[in-house]
Copies of this chain bind each other. A is one copy, B any other.
Amino acid sequence: MKKIEVIQNVLEANDTIANRNRQLLDKHRIFVINIMSAPGAGKTSLILQTLARLKGKLNIAVIEGDVASTVDAEKVQSKAKAVVQINTRNMPESCSLMAAMIESALKDMPLDDIGLILIENVGNLICPAEFTLGEHRRVVISSLPEGDDKPIKYPLIFVDADAVIINKMDLLPHVDFDIAEFRRSITGLNPKVEVFQLSCKTGEGVERWCSWILEQVKTNVVKQ
């Protein structure tokens, strides 16, 4: 019982900090998207494609979450307005970013010069579902080689997503993946979810994703 109680405390403390992050972000009119997926589904590639296509339209910063290494931050460094790498290896929760890590990262960013922050969460379909960060939208990437049964096996992360991206569409001829079945599974869990089919390798479908971001940012700024 002691353990469960402590986990409850951790989640509550996380929510409090997430709310504080959200207030700070809204004050600076910064829109934040939390991008989650299994390892290797294409989070960094999607961020690179998004940075390239929205260049000149939005000032974008990136927060990179990884258990270890700075390889992802290095890849986006020269393309983003600001990049902060978070390594979770020695933190109490290494399997997800948490609101306190984002709070700390925001302190290192030029908030008045940023319109959008893309957060690349730790590669994991389980833990990131539990922690809200103060983000405005939650996005899950699934890639074709992972198979079409992921929503059934990891439902929680799909239930709370605003958008699901089906990535690596270029591999469709080479893998067994039933797109209709996958879409049925996610909309069964989450009827309002937005679904994008794209390939970060060929660029196919990325335009629609970027238009969606622009629309979300615009709607959010109008709301404030």
Interface residues of A (CB under 8 A from B): 2-4, 6-7, 9-10, 38-40, 66-69, 71-72, 89, 92, 94-95, 122-127, 143, 145-147, 149-150, 152-156, 168, 170-171, 174-175
**Neighbour of A153 across the interface among B71, B92, B147, B168, CB < 8 A:** B71
- Copy tally for this chain in the complex stands at 2
Known A-B contacts A3-B10, A95-B95; A69 and B153 likewise in contact (beta carbons under 8 Å): yes
Minimum Cβ distance to chain B for residue A9 (Å)? 8
Minimum Cβ distance to chain B for residue A90 (Å)? 11
- Inter-subunit contact B168/A145 (CB<8 Å): yes
Interface centre among A4, A6, A94, A126 (most CB of B within 10 A): A126
- Inter-subunit contact A155/B38 (CB<8 Å): no
- Inter-subunit contact B38/A156 (CB<8 Å): no
- Which chain B residue has the least Cβ–Cβ distance from A167? B145
- Which chain B residue has the least Cβ–Cβ distance from A87? B153
Contacting residues, chain B, for A10 (C-beta < 8 A): 3
**Neighbour of A2 across the interface among B6, B154, B168, CB < 8 A:** B6
